[in-house]
Structure 1
Amino acid sequence: MTSAFQNTLDFARQLDAQDALRPFRDRFHLPPGPDGQPAAYMCGNSLGLMPKTARAAVEAEFQSWEEHAVEGHFREPSQWMHYHQTLTEASARLVGAKPVEVVVMNNLTVNLHLLLISFYRPAGRRYKVLMEGGAFPSDQYALESQVKLHGYQPDDAIVELLPRPGEHTLRTADIEARIQALGEELALVILGGVNYYTGQAFDMPAITRAGHAVGAVVGFDLAHAAGNLLLHLHDWDVDFACWCSYKYLNSGPGGTSGVFVHERFANRPDLPRLAGWWGHDATVRFQMKKGFQPMPGAAGWQLSNAQIFPMAIHRAALAIVDEAGGMQELRRKSEQLTGYLEYVLHAAGLPAEVLEIITPADPAQRGCQLSLLVHQQGRQLFDFLSERGIMADWREPNVIRISPVPLYNSFEDVWRIGQAVAAWTTTLTPAAANQ
């Protein structure tokens, strides 16, 4: 693929002209750069852009509130009572699940805690948790607090996976070996589907098989994977997962979250959980009686009624994904777009001692994101890009995350990044540039 790329503006525009998803760029509000022209927005891994349909979607719910007040729960067109159900089919398609296995509710870390209450059940020798070292802090804090709730010390109960010396990412074989070594001590494997810092996509089916082989439960935080990777959670036999909607799913800051619980747990009222009335059997919910009876499937983990306004945005955003052909089409373009980004960055000619791509080169081990480890003057490069209308993401101490998103980024956007990095090399001292 990369051998067919060319580092020219004409070639980038030719790819854009051939791109079947090109019209979807106009479905989003692109922030302006310093020159007033649309920025090359590369932060979709942090906050996706605003769909142009978002405002009208929320306004429709304001209209229902204004006209119907409490009766909006029952009246068309919104029927807030059942609003969350309008997200189920699209969410199931998004993550490769059956509708009974998914529900949209709450926010990501709240949902992670709710799932951990049910699926981290240490007993006897089996109490350890395996997670990636350097996971996103919310995941670290959630696991620390959960093991403490069970009377364990995090330094003992939590085992962190670290790359081999001199490497930046984890090898699947090393993850599998660690799972096997922990064996009967291992209660839970919990990783991010994509590591937020390196951009590495983990081999979720292989990890799930390895965890189940030793009797452990396996779950994933898909914050950086949902809307980014092709997921088949049901077929992979994953036990549980959760994700946010404000990154690749473009559903607004602090947007609502999705949950997956495999259907083998669909009718397990014996599973410990934190209960709320919206998870209670809907056929008797309004009898207001004691005694929690969970809904079948993931819906039985709900606590409260739907967050209508963020869900309205999410519904509008999910509709765009479906209209674009779903994750298979988005992933097809993503691989080409990210491959072109890798190509133009290499074409800039910086030695690895100055700039190193730490995201795996294998497309199967990454999504949209490339993480640039800038060994010299990293913040200066980030500012240099910003001044040229390229909105990337800075992570301490010296990583720039760049994420071309297939719904709204163009090949010309990517070409601009390569040109800017090449121009930055001229600002380096000769010794730094030639190391």
Structure 2
Amino acid sequence: MSGNDTDPGTGPRRFASGEAEAHRLDAADPGHRHLFHVPPADGGRYPEAAYLAGNSLGLQPRATRTELLADLDAWRRLGVEGHLEADRPWLPYHELLTGPAARLVGARPTEVVVMNSLTVNLHLLMVSFYRPAGRRTRILIEDSAFPSDSYAVRSQARFHGLDPDTTVVRLTPRPGEDTLRTSDVTDFLAAEGDTVALVLLGGVNYLTGELMDIPTITAAGRAAGAVVGWDLAHAAGNVPLSLHDWDVDFAAWCSYKYLNSGPGALAAVFVHDRHLGDPTLPRFEGWWSTEAATRFEMPPVSRPPATVEAWQISNPPIFAMGPVRTSLELFDAVGMPALRERSRRLTGYLERLLDEVTASRPLTVVTPRDPDRRGCQLSVRLGAGSAADLTKRLRHEHGVVADAREPDVVRFAPVPLYSTYHDCWRVADALAATVTEERR
């Protein structure tokens, strides 16, 4: 840490930690920023943005454009014959994504398929796995679930003729706390689990950044007789996962956040192999739900394979699959263990800087301090003012891109693939300059 009272080019320092330290850390622990396009700064004195909004939309890998253009060129050259003759033939194209997607979430290849969008996939999975009967009708979610999940489970309850206000149970943190404890979930399941048909929680909470104890909660839910599913939108590509070994029934995730596959990118699903080939599970079916070997015999009755591909409905959109494939290749090359370790270092550094800034300002970090209970996101609650207004000032005055969740939470995600220690320093410096100190 620099002992000077100023940092070069900044004038008087706004907080104790110096910019030079961030540069030294980046030299020692550089990450993979060179593989991504970083937007230009919209303000401040640096050419590139300090982009800490990867939990909302990841940056574009440099390889994506080249790879996508290659798929487009196959269409130009081959027309319909590209289904079989392209360098990456379209007919089995989705299979190129299966292996790396399965490795990313700790699953077997037969348990994972890339398809559709996240909430569509949740609905398709709930067709199979939310089957209320007798006393066992309730759906357990967290009160701070992403709104789309809330809408989805409420609509599922209504579809089954149930009252969503009584069917959907929303677990809230204890008074004075911002995040759920694992025991808040397991104690409820121990007491009332015989009324729960489905547990559907976010693996990493979108608002607070809390990493749930997926194996412990899964075991408690299954012991109570419930089906356990996970929304991994903020967990896939952020934290290591072992879905098969954790005995998760099903999961779904998007790929435009930490997986850097572009806005509205394709999502993916996991179904544990104990459910694969089960003829008693109801499913919606379509063209791609039948076995590939006999698909073009055009039989009137589907012959679903004993894999998760039985949950597919339509043929995959090739040009949407290409960016997912490109991104998954990056994760295969770097590896989640290495990314997780860098994430701990980078997020811990940002936390230390935020501690200095928040000590004298009306700001509170609501993300758990224990590194085992979070991914790379730190959420800051404002004591006054609008989160949206603050993020606008951070962007336009300092070139810091963060994400607002109204009314009062700003989310910062130092993504280990491309974020830097200097990005973290810029966040703290910008907050210190933007948020007025409290008078003591």
Q: What TM-score, normalized to structure 2? A: 0.93
Contact 2:107 2:244 in 1 (8 A): yes
Match of 2:429 among 406, 419, 432: 419
Q: Using the alignment, how far apart are the partners of 1:416 and 1:43 within structure 2?
A: 14
Aligned to 2:345: 336
1:363-401 CA distance string (max 9 Å, x none)? 111111111001123445333321100000111101100
Rate the CA distance shift 1:349–1:183 in 2: closer, same or farther, 3 A.
closer
1:9-24 residue pairs with structure 2 within 5 A?
A: 9-19=19-29, 21-22=30-31, 24=32
Asked if 1:363 is matched to 2:371, the reply is yes
1:226-285 CA distance string (max 9 Å, x none)? 000110101110000000000000000000011100010122132101111211111211
Asked if 1:434 is matched to 2:412, the reply is no
Aligned to 2:357: 348
Amino acid across the alignment from 1:98 = R
Amino acid across the alignment from 2:187 = A
Shift of 1:349: 4.5
Amino acid across the alignment from 1:214 = A
Aligned to 2:155: 145
Asked if 1:251 is matched to 2:272, the reply is no
Give the match's secondary structure for 2:292: coil
Aligned to 1:3: none
Q: Using the alignment, how far apart are the partners of 1:268 and 1:381 within structure 2?
A: 51
Contact 2:78 2:86 in 1 (8 A): no
Contact 1:276 1:303 in 2 (8 A): yes
Q: Using the alignment, how far apart are the partners of 1:107 and 1:319 within structure 2?
A: 20
1:177-236 CA distance string (max 9 Å, x none)? 011121211111000111111111110001001001111000000000000011010111
Aligned to 2:385: 377
Q: What CA RMSD, in Å, does the superposition of the two structures yield over aligned residues? A: 1.4
1:210-225 residue pairs with structure 2 within 5 A?
A: 210-225=220-235
1:179-328 residue pairs with structure 2 within 5 A?
A: 179-324=189-334, 326-328=335-337
Q: Using the alignment, how far apart are the partners of 1:273 and 1:412 within structure 2?
A: 49
Shift of 1:422: 2.0
Asked if 1:28 is matched to 2:33, the reply is no
Aligned to 2:6: none
Contact 2:204 2:210 in 1 (8 A): yes
Amino acid across the alignment from 2:177 = E
Contact 2:386 2:406 in 1 (8 A): no
Aligned length: 421
Aligned to 1:159: 169
Q: Using the alignment, how far apart are the partners of 2:301 and 2:253 within structure 1?
A: 30
1:97-116 residue pairs with structure 2 within 5 A?
A: 97-116=107-126
Shift of 1:355: 0.4
Asked if 1:176 is matched to 2:186, the reply is yes
1:298-339 CA distance string (max 9 Å, x none)? 111000111111110111111111222x11111110111111
Q: Using the alignment, how far apart are the partners of 2:258 and 2:173 within structure 1?
A: 26
Contact 1:242 1:259 in 2 (8 A): yes
Aligned to 1:119: 129
Q: Using the alignment, how far apart are the partners of 2:365 and 2:439 within structure 1?
A: 18
Shift of 1:134: 2.2
Q: Using the alignment, how far apart are the partners of 1:351 and 1:126 within structure 2?
A: 50
Shift of 1:351: 4.3
Q: Using the alignment, how far apart are the partners of 1:134 and 1:377 within structure 2?
A: 21
Give the match's secondary structure for 2:337: helix
Give the match's secondary structure for 1:342: helix
Amino acid across the alignment from 1:305 = N
Contact 1:96 1:233 in 2 (8 A): yes
Which stretch of the first structure deviates more once superposed, 377-386 or 408-417?
377-386
Amino acid across the alignment from 2:36 = F
Q: Using the alignment, how far apart are the partners of 1:403 and 1:255 within structure 2?
A: 20
Q: Using the alignment, how far apart are the partners of 2:386 and 2:349 within structure 1?
A: 22
Q: Using the alignment, how far apart are the partners of 1:304 and 1:221 within structure 2?
A: 22
Structure 2, unmatched stretches of 5+, are: 1-15
Contact 1:269 1:293 in 2 (8 A): no
Aligned to 2:61: 51
Which stretch of the first structure deviates more once superposed, 186-195 or 285-294?
285-294
Q: Using the alignment, how far apart are the partners of 1:340 and 1:384 within structure 2?
A: 23
Contact 2:123 2:152 in 1 (8 A): yes
Structure 1's consecutive aligned runs of 4 or more residues displaced over 6 angstroms after TM superposition are none
Q: Using the alignment, how far apart are the partners of 2:325 and 2:114 within structure 1?
A: 10
